[in-house]
Chain A
Amino acid sequence: MSTSKLLIAALAALPLLTALPTAVSAQDFAITNATVAIGDGGEPIEGGTVVVRGGKVSAAGAGVTVPAGIPVTDGTGAWVTPGLVVALSDVGVYDVGAVSESNDTTGGSSPFSAALDISPAINPAAQQMKLARAGGVTRASVVTGARGSIFAGQGAVVDTGADPDAVMKARAFQYVELGEGGARLAGGSRVAAHIYLRNAMREARAFAAGTWKGDEAMLTRADAEALGAVVSGKQRLYVEVERASDIRIVIALGREFPKLDIVLVGASEGWMVAGEIAAAGVPVIADALDDLPQSFEQLGATQSNVGRMVDAGVEVSIGRIFGEEIPAYVTQYAGNLVALNNVPGATGLTWGEAFATISSIPAKISGIGGKAGVLKAGAVGDIVIWDGDPLEVSSAPVRVYIDGVEQPLDSHQSRLRERYRDLDESDLPKAYDW
């Protein structure tokens, strides 16, 4: 342990980037002798090597040869993983949650719904972006909350790099809220939500077929057009539901509109219908640790939900990171699912399975499967070097690369930390300490 601590200290002592030069390019580099997690569900590999060339992973694992001439970092004692992927978040769309002027997380009273497109609201310079990458999160799906209608609009896939190009994929998916929340939005009942949803699907189909009549329609033209991509299966439909019976209804909806490409979001009672979800081939984005009957649609909530669904063959990602949560919490959530293996009667995940729920699986659900969240040849060069087991609460990234470019890890928070390392104001006020 002492040797590895020394090497980690040496790694951490290397000068860290605090600002990027105006033009940056991907570096070729290799890390050797590290514990490497590929992100594909397998267990971590001791003494592994990761090679990044031209901004992409070129090789990772055991027995990998480092090509001659590229810089090598000895990663003894360190862990190396792909950049984490958060399946759903509001990263980059607000500065301060309760400061509404800075907050673009909901369309509020907009006349539009499904047409809402989060991508122009995303701010690559937001503090949340900085905290995300400092926490090892390099990619995320971002979405607004549903407010004016059951349709929240179209989410985007972003990277958290310190560059202007945050949006990797705009209009990546449509988001609809059913269950108790959707029922309130649609007029006060699940009945209202379902007729609204079906009508919207029919109008979208009509729009795509050129038979949509605006004067008879409930949707705006823009919303009908946006939903066309959903009914034709070109755009995934994320459906937020919690209750077992609501999950069954969503699966049935998939039979009624066979081209729908559905992702379940929430699914607190998913374990009660896990076999049906697996048979339908529908992936799930779940809250890992929900175990309270927060509402009547979550009476069956348990931390074993994810483990039971995975055991039934469901593809599960964790991480809905909104509000006071920060993206880096996903590692703690995943670690807790591993902890369940030591709780009699509980169903947890192996370390590799847990890590996949915050790397390769959210990448796959977000439409960047094989390209991110995994250390495979050809994947983006998103690499995180950690000072310990990344799922352990005491660990943190030491270095983060996105597309092969080393990232600054500083933020408003780290600047405050440095200013207040001591409270000495004998010469000048703290305001001069920067």
Chain B
Amino acid sequence: MASASDKGGETAIADVPFPSTYSAYPGAPTALIGATVFDGAGDRIDNGTVLFADGKVTAIGDASLTIPDGYTRIDGTGKYVTPGIIDIHSHLGDYPTPSVAAHSDGNEATSPTTPQVWAEHSVWPQDPGFSRALANGGVTSLQILPGSANLMGGRSVTLKNVPSRTVQGMKFPGAPYGFKMACGENPKRVYSSRGPSTRMGNFAINRQTWADAKEYADGDRETRNLAKETLAGVLDGDILVHNHCYRADEMAQVLDMAKEAGYKVTAFHHAVESYKIGDILREADVCSAIWADWWGFKMEAYDGIPENAALIHQAGACVIVHSDSANGIQRLNQEAAKAQASGKRMGIDIADAEIIRWLTLNPAKAMGIDDQTGSLEAGKMADIVLWNGDPLSVYSRPEKVWVDGAMLFDSSDSKRRPVSDFELGQPGEGDVK
């Protein structure tokens, strides 16, 4: 899968409008010692040591790792360390709280295909939800997607979970764009009077749109056409497709549509029926971004089962646990633990360290940022959570969270907790949340 850095990193970024202005906040060289470390890539180190400085992980190892002079030591005995949690499916900012109509900026529901819209133009950086995701969920990076009213909802934006006055100040430097698509019930319901009103209508519109995009992409591309520029970016492999799709049969059809049109699906989101086609998803190298056990709220969610993640994993396909919720994003670790336990009860044993990968390196890979974050590896961003207990237990919470080596949450320091502009002077300002 192509990522911006494959395409030339800084040069590519400079060509993109609305560039990231994010830069890391200062941090002290730090040694986390004595904790159980899950590295995000599937490994576990008991009594581990994690070193970071200048915003980067400098080394990771067991108790024998030498700690250089000048590192602040934090005793993690009895605690756990993971990479920062990454949510691949969030609407923080584009459906912020308070969720009043004036804030409803997630669906440009004026046409079934709106590849021209960019989620970042809807994101309100003062959404109080970002701070809950940081403090309670240990979330350090997240992808904000347009909603699922449209077949083609527009571009996503990947953010660092660092408060900023501007969206550009949160944009993850070098992250490729994502492209939101949606299958099934939502588009045909929203557009039932003007079309599409059926699943076959969904496919017809998608295929024609791709065919037109191909013509544009094969031409000189000189006339500005925001919609087709996005679609051409997908066909070029620079923009990663994130396709909301519940049903197994529909996912299989989308994969054939992608083959016909000449693009790749990076991840199916809300893929509650992936367990029925784990083999197909493995072969297609597509991730399933899923909840642990949401079920029954709509027809296409009727066959959701809590063993979905474990069965996908058993088939050798990629699992990502996502939230799609300002509440769920605060407990992705617990959702993963539920999925693990459901698998275990049916005889599928998956190691804790692998489960943590579902929340870290797997989403990073599907967002095209795995060369920069998602695991604790020397040279990667120091996006790190120190948990006060086993992150796969309901009783554990983040104790400290670092983003690019800067401590942005400390449960024992009430001032080391972001409070959005919206919450100033309101009941509960600065309260534990």
Contact = CB atoms under 8 A, between A and B. Distances in A.
Interface residues of A, number: 57
B427 A323 contact: no
Nearest to B433: A291
A85 B97 CA distance: 31
B346 A417 contact: yes
B432 A304 contact: yes
B392 to A, nearest CB: 7
A7 interface: no
Contacts of A324: 294-297, 301
A290 to B, nearest CB: 8
Interface string A396-426: 1000000000000000111011001101000
Contact of B394 (A292, A336, A343): A336
A392 B395 contact: yes
Interface string B318-349: 00000000110011001001101110111000
Given A269-B427, A339-B394, A98 B97 contact: no
Contact of B340 (A304, A326, A394): A394
B275 A420 contact: yes
B98 A96 contact: no
B10 to A, nearest CB: 37
B426 A299 contact: yes
A291 B389 contact: no
A417 B311 CA distance: 9
Contacts of B301: 96, 324
B34 interface: no
Contacts of A336: 331, 334, 394
The size bracket of the interface on B is 35 or more
Interface string A341-378: 01111100000000000000000000000000000000
A392 B394 contact: yes
Interface in B119-171: 128-129, 132, 136
Given A96-B302, A289-B327, A392-B395, A342 B431 contact: no
A387 B344 CA distance: 12
Given A291-B136, A345-B432, A326 B295 contact: yes
Interface in A269-295: 269, 272, 289-295
Interface in A294-332: 294-296, 298-304, 323-324, 326, 332
A296 B393 contact: no
B429 to A, nearest CB: 9
A192 to B, nearest CB: 19
B209 interface: no
B411 A293 contact: no
A394 B341 contact: yes
A415 to B, nearest CB: 9
Interface string B254-267: 00000000000000
B427 A300 contact: yes
Contact of B98 (A127, A295, A300, A304): A295
B8 interface: no
A290 B428 CA distance: 13
B432 A303 contact: yes
A420 B311 contact: yes
Given A323-B297, A326-B293, A344 B412 contact: yes
B99 A393 contact: no
A395 interface: yes
A412 B277 CA distance: 18
Q: DSSP class of A's interface residues: helix, strand, loop or mixed?
A: loop
Interface string B278-320: 1100000000000001111111011111110001000100000
B427 A272 contact: yes
Contacts of A339: 394-397
B75 to A, nearest CB: 16
A290 B129 CA distance: 11
A97 interface: yes
A417 B348 CA distance: 12
A60 interface: no
Contacts of A98: 185, 297-299
Contacts of B311: 417, 420-421
A293 B295 contact: no
B388 interface: yes
Contact of B337 (A272, A391, A393): A393
Given A96-B299, A97-B297, A344 B411 contact: yes
A81 interface: no
Nearest to B431: A302
Given A302-B433, A342-B388, A420-B275, A413 B305 contact: yes
Contacts of A295: 98-100
A214 B423 CA distance: 49
A128 interface: yes
A244 interface: yes
Interface in B77-128: 97-100, 128
A343 B431 CA distance: 12
Given A302-B431, A345-B432, A417-B346, A293 B294 contact: no
A99 interface: yes
Interface string B151-195: 000000000000000000000000000000000010000000000
Contacts of A302: 428, 431-433
Contact of A97 (B279, B298, B414): B298
Nearest to A335: B394
A162 interface: no
Contacts of A343: 388, 397, 411, 432
B334 A396 contact: no
A420 B276 contact: yes
Contacts of B345: 12, 387, 396
Contacts of B346: 417, 421
B128 A394 contact: no
Contacts of B326: 292
Given A416-B303, A420-B275, A293 B298 contact: no
19 contacts: A96-B296, A97-B297, A99-B299, A292-B433, A295-B100, A302-B431, A303-B433, A326-B293, A332-B394, A338-B395, A339-B395, A392-B393, A394-B338, A394-B344, A412-B303, A413-B295, A420-B311, A423-B276, A423-B278
Interface of A: 12, 95-99, 127-128, 131, 244, 269, 272, 289-296, 298-304, 323-324, 326, 332, 335-336, 338-340, 342-346, 387, 391-396, 412-414, 416-417, 420-421, 423, 430
